[in-house]
């Protein structure tokens, strides 16, 4: 079920209602939050409360909770109360709210169940020092600059990408991360803390720069797909740094220089290793691959190109990006795609040195999936279906099915409006999708909306 925030206010807190209704209100206009300013995270149409935030305010759809004992705010949620988040939206929370610093983030996905987080790319402000994220599924997260301590940490979560900015010297507090395939540590890194990326079962590559001197205990334990190059600058490696765990197997391959600390460690602990000749020419990338060759994106979405450079120990690994049609899809120097309008484009990724190999990613941009709602018309045996307008659409198709995951058949074709009323069956599931037609007449569709269904005299949204 979709999670939502309800706003409950007593009469003495009515002045605070203004900032709840207007998501883009200026922070300086927000009244001081009190324990009476409450947000409740709950299931649609149910009395079950997943979480409750007192002293909470919303600015630009980010929910901040005031902590009187610290005289500061922390980020606790993202408000999708009235509208679903578009795929790939980027949030850059404020570093200050109402004159108070934003110093932390606390997201408990298992408690809140915020399924919408998979759509978000989160860029944390440098003011954030206390981080605790668990059970979440962000698209990507960029950590604060110069972060040396992560008190709560990030664990048991799904991330496609974790970006650690340049200036960070001590990386730790991140483990049990799924979907993460690659991690590149900044050149400023000196120490990898214990448990760093432990049990990250999808991890394939970690680039450790020259200058790192220590790898902590169990740092990469339980990473069975990991192939990692350990530079000769590493002099100390902790216990079980690459061993199997109760959940996952040991490291797939360690690449290291002959007689280095990593070489001796691998031999002593019976780990698979390959000796790498420390000659500069051997550090040039020779191959390049993509995690996928084709993707679709709704208009307005952002998504980062996921690529893999080999060999994993290549120091000269930089790539450049280009788009065949930047009016449809643009790409920046960091590989971030932005879908602009309906159409097709090819993204080229090329190694800057070494083999200079090129790979291509085909991108189709289509309308965004509509947000469908249904409600019974009072005193009439009909139902009104409403949805938000999808940018770039030419029309919509409303479909129904006997089961939630069954085959959906088109029952209504609609153009020029976002509302339709008819006698709907209370025993079926309904979805809607947008479409557009190319100049050559080919039809493209958006993804389907989430299903709506009837239960106990009320229409629900999946």
- The CATH number of whichever domain residue 343 belongs to comes to 2.60.40.1080
In a domain, 177, yes or no: no
Tell me the pLDDT tens digit for each residue of 58-80: 898 899 999 999 999 999 988 87
By percentage, how much of the chain surpasses pLDDT 90? Answer: 58
For residues 25-41, average pLDDT: 57
Q: In sequence order, what are the residues at sequence separation of 6 or more whose Cβ sits closer than 8 angstroms to the Cβ of residue 174?
A: 150, 153, 154, 155, 162, 196, 197
Whether residue 327 sits in one domain with residue 399: no
**Residue 257, domain extent:** 186-278
Hey, what are 313's tokens? 């120990």
What SS3 class is residue 388? coil
Q: How many CB atoms lie within 10 A of CB 207?
A: 18
Phi and psi at residue 18, in whole multiples of 5°?
A: -55, -50
The answer to whether 39 and 59 are in contact (CB under 8 A) is no
Whether residue 358 sits in one domain with residue 397: no
Which of these three, 366, 382, 397, is where a domain ends? Answer: 366
Whether residue 257 sits in one domain with residue 146: no
Whether residue 97 sits in one domain with residue 5: yes
Q: How many CB atoms lie within 10 A of CB 448?
A: 16
CA dihedral 184, 186, 349, 344 (to 10 degrees): 80
Structure-model confidence comparison of residues 179 and 152, the more confident one: 179
In a domain, 172, yes or no: no
Whether residue 303 sits in one domain with residue 244: no
Q: Name the residue among 397, 399, 392, 398 with its Cα closest to residue 436.
A: 392
Count of alpha carbons within 13 angstroms of residue 78, beta-carbon side: 24
Whether residue 270 sits in one domain with residue 317: no
Whether residue 25 sits in one domain with residue 105: yes
Whether residue 142 sits in one domain with residue 30: yes
CA distance 344 to 325: 8
pLDDT band at 47 (very low <50, low <70, confident <90, very high): very low
- On the question of a cis peptide bond just before residue 199, with omega within 30 degrees of 0, the verdict is no
Confidence (pTM): 0.77
Whether residue 119 sits in one domain with residue 6: yes
In a domain, 174, yes or no: no
In a domain, 169, yes or no: no
Could you give the number of structural domains in the chain?
A: 4
Whether residue 437 sits in one domain with residue 299: no
Kindly report the CATH number assigned to the domain that includes residue 388: 2.60.40.10
Which of these three, 307, 342, 366, is where a domain ends? Answer: 366
Sequential DSSP letters for 117-143: GGGEEEE--TT--EEEEES---SEEEP
Instruction: List for the chain the helix, strand, coil content (%; round to 5).
Output: 10, 40, 50
Instruction: Give the model's pLDDT for residue 135.
Output: 85
Whether residue 332 sits in one domain with residue 434: no
Q: Name the residue among 196, 205, 158, 150 with its Cα closest to residue 177.
A: 158
In this predicted structure, the answer to whether residue 324 has a pLDDT above a threshold of 80 is yes
In a domain, 31, yes or no: yes
Instruction: Give the model's pLDDT for residue 390.
Output: 87
In a domain, 168, yes or no: no
The answer to whether 346 and 362 are in contact (CB under 8 A) is yes
> Whose structure tokens read 């190319």?
438
Whether residue 223 sits in one domain with residue 353: no
């Amino acid at each position: 079920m979709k999670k939502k925030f309800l706003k409950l206010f007593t009469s003495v807190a009515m002045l605070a209602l203004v900032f709840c209704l207007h998501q883009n209100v200026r922070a300086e206009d927000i009244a001081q939050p009190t324990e009476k300013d409450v947000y409740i995270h709950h299931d649609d149409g149910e009395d079950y409360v997943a979480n409750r935030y007192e002293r909470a305010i919303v600015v630009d759809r980010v929910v901040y909770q005031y902590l009187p004992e610290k005289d500061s705010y922390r980020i606790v949620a993202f408000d999708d109360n009235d509208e679903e988040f578009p795929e790939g939206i980027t949030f850059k929370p404020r570093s200050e709210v109402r004159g108070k610093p934003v110093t932390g983030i606390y997201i408990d996905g298992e408690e809140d169940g915020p399924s919408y987080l998979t759509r978000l790319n989160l860029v944390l402000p440098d003011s954030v020092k206390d981080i605790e994220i668990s059970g979440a599924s962000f698209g990507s997260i960029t950590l604060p600059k110069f972060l040396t301590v992560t008190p709560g940490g990030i664990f048991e979560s799904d991330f496609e990408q974790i970006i650690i900015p340049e200036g960070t010297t001590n990386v730790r507090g991140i483990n049990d991360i799924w979907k993460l395939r690659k991690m590149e540590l900044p050149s400023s890194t000196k120490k990898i803390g214990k448990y760093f990326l432990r049990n990250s079962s999808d991890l394939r590559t970690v680039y450790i720069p020259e200058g790192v001197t220590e790898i902590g205990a169990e740092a990469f334990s339980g990473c069975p797909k990991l192939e990692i190059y350990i530079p000769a600058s590493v002099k100390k490696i902790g216990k079980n740094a690459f061993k199997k765990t109760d959940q996952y197997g040991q490291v797939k391959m360690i690449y290291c220089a002959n007689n280095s600390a990593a070489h001796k460690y691998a031999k002593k602990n019976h780990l698979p290793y390959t000796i790498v000749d420390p000659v500069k020419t051997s550090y040039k990338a020779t191959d390049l691959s993509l995690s996928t060759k084709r993707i679709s994106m709704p208009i307005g979405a952002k998504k980062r190109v996921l690529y893999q450079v080999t060999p994993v120990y290549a120091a000269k690994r930089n790539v450049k990006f280009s788009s065949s049609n930047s009016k449809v899809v643009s790409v920046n120097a960091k590989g971030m795609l932005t879908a602009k309008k309906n159409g097709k484009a090819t993204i080229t990724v090329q190694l800057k040195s070494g083999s200079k190999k090129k790979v291509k990613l085909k991108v189709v941009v289509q309308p965004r999936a509509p947000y469908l709602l249904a409600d019974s018309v009072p005193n009439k045996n009909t139902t009104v279906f409403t949805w938000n307008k999808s940018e770039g659409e030419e029309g919509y198709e409303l479909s129904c099915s006997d089961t939630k995951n069954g085959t959906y058949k088109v029952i209504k074709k609609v153009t020029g409006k976002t509302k339709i009323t008819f006698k709907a069956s209370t025993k079926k599931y309904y979805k809607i999708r947008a479409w557009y037609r190319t100049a050559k007449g080919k039809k493209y569709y958006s993804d389907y909306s989430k299903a709506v269904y009837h239960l106990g005299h009320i229409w629900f949204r999946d």
